[in-house]
Amino acid sequence: EPEVTQTPSHQVTQMGQEVILRCVPISNHLYFYWYRQILGQKVEFLVSFYNNEISEKSEIFDDQFSVERPDGSNFTLKIRSTKLEDSAMYFCASSERQGGNEQFFGPGTRLTVL
C-alpha cells in the first residue's frame, strides 16, 4: 500500500541553524502539505503546495519557512534559522485532488531545537 514517508524521524539542531525536513508523497498525488504538532497541542496547518507553488499558508508559515519540490518525488520544508519554539513534530501529507479526498499523512519528523 502506498504511503507517505519522511526523513529523518528525529532531528536535533542548535538554535539559529537551518534544517531541511524531507518527505516523499504518494506518487500519483498532486497536493502536498506540511503540518506541525507542538508537544501536547493540536495539529496545525502550515502550508499547501500544488503545481510547484504554494497554494495556501497559515500565519505560522512566516519568512523563515520555505517549501520546495526539488525533483519528481521529494517535497521539503526548510526552516532557515530555527528557534526554540520550532521544536515540534512535523507531518507531511499528500492528497490526490481537492474536494473531499482525504490527506494521507507521513509518520512525522520530530524536530528538537536546543
Partner 1 sequence: AQSVTQLGSHVSVSEGALVLLRCNYSSSVPPYLFWYVQYPNQGLQLLLKYTSAATLVKGINGFEAEFKKSETSFHLTKPSAHMSDAAEYFCAVKGDTGRRALTFGSGTRLQVQP
Sequence-ordered list of residues with C-beta below 8 angstroms from that of 24, at least 6 positions apart, any chain: 4, 5, 6, 73, 74, 75
Residue among 17 and 74 whose Cβ is closer to partner 1: 74
Q: What is the largest CA-CA distance in the chain?
A: 40
Span 45-74, contacts to partner 1 by CB under 8 A: 45, 48, 55-56, 58
Compute the least distance from the CB of residue 40 to partner 1, in Å. Answer: 9
* Residue 30 makes contact with partner 1 by CB under 8 A: no
Compute the least distance from the CB of residue 14 to partner 1, in Å. Answer: 24
